[in-house]
Amino acid sequence: MNRRLQYLEALEIDAWTPRGGFARTAQLIATPPGNGAAGADTASWDELAAQVRSCTRCGLHATRTQTVFGVGNRRAELMVIGEAPGADEDAQGEPFVGRAGQLLNSILRGMGWPRETVFIANVLKCRPPGNRDPAPEEAASCRPYLQAQIDLVQPRMLLAVGRIAAQNLLATETPIGKLRGHVHRFGAGGIPLVVTYHPAYLLRSPGEKRKVWSDMKLLRAELARARSDTTAPGH
């Protein structure tokens, strides 16, 4: 099936074909590398995971069932960053495992990035009670853990999923609607970062799914550009 149709089907969007057939809107990129942590510093990962499990930096440690460290390919080209664990994630210890997670998986798979080929983490490693928004001090307490994960993965691209993740990563209060549609830069290394809506929002507002399709095209094109830059002569 055409990749565009696969993606629209994953988002449960009816495909629209212009007269004469639809044009190829972006160059398809090769499938990202498979799961595996060849070359990863396993000791560093284990140490970091242990620090997260025993963390008491903020009050969320008193109400969590367990921490939600992150999951996926530790050498991924794409790192997906969400807001915070929900009830399902708190129970299972893995990010994006509820209905919103299933939709995220479909979105990623439709673009050629099965869940196991990316690394998925959250701004917070513990669930805020009642799924409330993270407090600024909670996000600040967790920030070193997320930064360490980014440093270890060394992704080519970051995808910020939802308003909270985007605003925390970019240190801004700009609404997500204005952050979408642009390639931002994260950290001292200037990692390209794209913003999109949270799948939980899409479950409530399915009419916004087409905007996510646009965000994913931008992400895919930028990742292809990043690959090209690293394989060009002189790199």
Domains and CATH numbers, the chain: 66-230 (3.40.470.10)
| Residue at 226: amino acid letter | A
Name the percent of the chain lying above pLDDT 90. 76
Cα–Cα distances in angstroms (integers) from residue 88 to residues 20, 126, 127, 159, 198, in the given order: 46, 12, 10, 22, 16
- How far is 53 from 90, CA to CA, in rounded Å? 12
The whole-number pLDDT of residue 28 equals 20
The whole-number pLDDT of residue 24 equals 26
The whole-number pLDDT of residue 80 equals 98
pLDDT tens digit string along 10-58? 555 444 333 333 222 222 212 233 333 333 467 799 999 999 999 999 9
- Residues 205 and 189: beta-carbon distance below 8 Å: no
Asked if residue 92 has pLDDT above 90, the reply is: yes
